[in-house]
Chains A and B, each alone.
Chain A
Amino acid sequence: MSEQTRKAPVPTRRSARPAYRELATAMPWLLPVLILILTVVLFPAAYMVWTSSRDVSQAGVDRGPAGLDNYHALLDFPALGRVLGNTAIWVFGVVLVTLLISLALAQFLNQAFPGRRLVRLAVIVPWAASVVMTSTVFYYALDPFYGIFNHFLVDLGILDAGFGFTRRPVPAFVVSMVVAVFVSLPFTTYTILAGLQMVPHDVIEAARMDGAGSGHIYRRIILPILRPAIAVAVLINIINVFNSLPILRTMTGSIPGYDADTTTTLIFKYIQQDRQVDLASALSVVNFLIVLAVIGIYLATLRPMRDE
């Protein structure tokens, strides 16, 4: 790194004018990206924060400043506790279960066996497929009357009769979590699989010769090497799972009330059902702060990026 910096034409960091000129040469190359980020990411973000402090009518007319009224309205929302609890269970449960299954699955897919390539391709399918479409087929297949998965469970003798998985909040929320794990598995598994390629074979062999057991080898050699891969997978999963809308909207959207909502699905109920963009904006701001906090806590306590 330091060598490369020295080779660069103008090594100084503090002298303002050459730095300014260098930046000016770089600008044409970066400008398109900056414009897009500025106008479609940062500006709407700022506009949203501003909207959260305004009183906006259902028709979209700005009726003036509202201070923190929208945030107070959120706090007064009776289902807020339930929704926040759901969000915590949703994110923590889905991310953790996904990680555990992916660790096992990646270990399995890393071994040589005939047909492995086809199995790997099958595992990738839920990643490529539209989450809305995947959720929709689960919703259909879990129907208590004509659903195929329900019927299959009855045929296996696990259920006596079709069960209304998607009819009441708690079971619907749980099966939604299963679907969320299902669609998160491919990415996580592949990331860990990529990490497993870094594990040196000879070291494993040597450890085995020294009499180390499989569990011991896994914990002491393989897991530490997987650390960065796990960190990336978990980080991206936290962001994706937190912001996931289609699964819950499809599986629990027809259930009245807010018992199966997370903060993300609630934002969309505010926008679409109640047409309260100001309230939705306030909740979005809170939502983003929660994501940042969760990521911060994750990075601070577990230190997944640590390199030693």
Chain B
Amino acid sequence: MVTTTSETVDRRANSGKTGARPGSRARGRHWLKPAAGAVVALVFLAPYLVMFIGSFKRHAEILRIPPTYLPTEWVPSNYATMWSTPETPLPYNLVSTLVISVCGTLLVLAVATPAAYYTAKHRFPGRGVFLLLVLATQMLQPTVLAPGLFRQFLAIGIDNTWLAMILVNAAFNLSFAVWIMHSFFSGIPKEIDEAAMVDGAGKLQTLRRVTLPLVWPGIVTAIIFTFVACWNEFAASLVILTTAENQPLSVAITKFVGQYDSAWHYVFGVSIVGIVPVVILFALVEKRLVAGLTAGAVK
């Protein structure tokens, strides 16, 4: 694919000789790009700065008219007192988020790794259908299926349980995990596997001792992407988890909005606690994330 495109490009580039323009204009202005970069960064961080700064204000100050940009007095103790706010049982919500995300991610990993490995290493009838089926689940999001999921879990009696949300999160994040691991497994030369087999290693052993260490970067990417998606899931939790204690942070946060004197300083404190660890995780796989996603989707 790369070769054909560059050929077309060559042809197009050579045929298109039109209006020349001086190439070097911004030579002396070294500060221009970093300055523009700073503006871009500021725009993207602005809401989170508002969040961070707001989390240190007193309740009276965060509702003050007109508002203050910076707290007149920084109140770090918000981060201790917010857990007992009456709107929602926040400690439970944090535990819910943690349990659902960790278990959901583990389940995805346990289920997706063998499938990704086998489809990358073996050709069999129905392989294409299987991979397409997995890709198709990307189109069916929990938002679309919410009424169906709600009815189903109600019928089998696991509505309003973590188990239901673990299953939902696992099912709807399978697609990305399978595809990115599939592309990593495909990248491993056959000879390595064959050498291990010749040495008498079984399939499972080859997978564990030889292949897994090589595809570790792909697995880490899949883990983090899945974890972040589970951590932030909202729509299905909203309809399936009906009691406050079971709800994750993403649902709990909405309890604050629309009230007359919302405890915004607590909303923001909780948000910071919910966002910072995930941003750090996400930043770790920044480079591989998109490459994996494009590879998976283009194939």
- Interface size of B by CB at 8 A reads 116
Which residues of A (233-289) have their CB < 8 Å from a CB of B? Answer: 235-236, 239-240, 243-246, 249-250, 253-254, 264, 267-268, 271-272, 277, 280-281, 284, 287-288
Please indicate the chain A residues that have their CB under 8 angstroms from the CB of B9 in the complex. Answer: 200, 203, 221, 224-225
Could you list some 5 contacts between A and B, CB below 8 A? A25-B124, A40-B149, A40-B168, A45-B148, A48-B145
Binary per-residue interface labels of chain B (144-186) against chain A in the complex, 1 for a CB within 8 Å, 0 otherwise? 1111111110100000000000011011101000100000000
| Chain B contact surface mostly | helix
Are A41 and B172 within 8 A (Cβ)? yes
- B93 at the A/B interface (Cβ < 8 Å)? no
- A76 at the A/B interface (Cβ < 8 Å)? no
Please indicate the chain B residues that have their CB under 8 angstroms from the CB of A146 in the complex. Answer: 62-67
- Interface size of A by CB at 8 A reads 124
Binary per-residue interface labels of chain B (35-68) against chain A in the complex, 1 for a CB within 8 Å, 0 otherwise? 0111011101101101100100000001111110
Please indicate the chain B residues that have their CB under 8 angstroms from the CB of A157 in the complex. Answer: none
Stretch of B16-24, B72-80, B212-220 with 4 or more beta carbons under 8 angstroms from chain A: B16-24
- B294 at the A/B interface (Cβ < 8 Å)? yes
- B253 at the A/B interface (Cβ < 8 Å)? yes
Query: B interface vs A, CB < 8 Å?
Result: 1-2, 4-6, 8-10, 12-14, 16-21, 23, 33-34, 36-38, 40-42, 44-45, 47-48, 50-51, 54, 62-67, 69, 107, 110-112, 114-115, 117-119, 122-127, 130, 133-134, 137-141, 143-152, 154, 167-168, 170-172, 174, 178, 228, 231-232, 234-235, 238-239, 249-251, 253-254, 256-258, 262, 264, 267-268, 271, 274-275, 278-279, 281-283, 286, 289-291, 293-294, 297-298
> Given contacts A44-B145, A148-B50, A249-B254, are A198 and B267 in contact (CB under 8 A)?
no
Please indicate the chain A residues that have their CB under 8 angstroms from the CB of B254 in the complex. Answer: 132, 136, 249-250
Are A29 and B115 within 8 A (Cβ)? yes
**B103 CB → nearest A CB, Å:** 13
> Given contacts A224-B5, A307-B4, are A212 and B17 in contact (CB under 8 A)?
yes
Please indicate the chain B residues that have their CB under 8 angstroms from the CB of A244 in the complex. Answer: 143
Q: What is the CA–CA distance of A200 and B8 in the complex, to the nearest angstrom? A: 12
Please indicate the chain B residues that have their CB under 8 angstroms from the CB of A156 in the complex. Answer: none
Are A133 and B271 within 8 A (Cβ)? yes
Nearest CB in chain B to that of A134: its residue: B47
Are B253 and A133 within 8 A (Cβ)? yes
Binary per-residue interface labels of chain A (127-138) against chain B in the complex, 1 for a CB within 8 Å, 0 otherwise? 111111110111
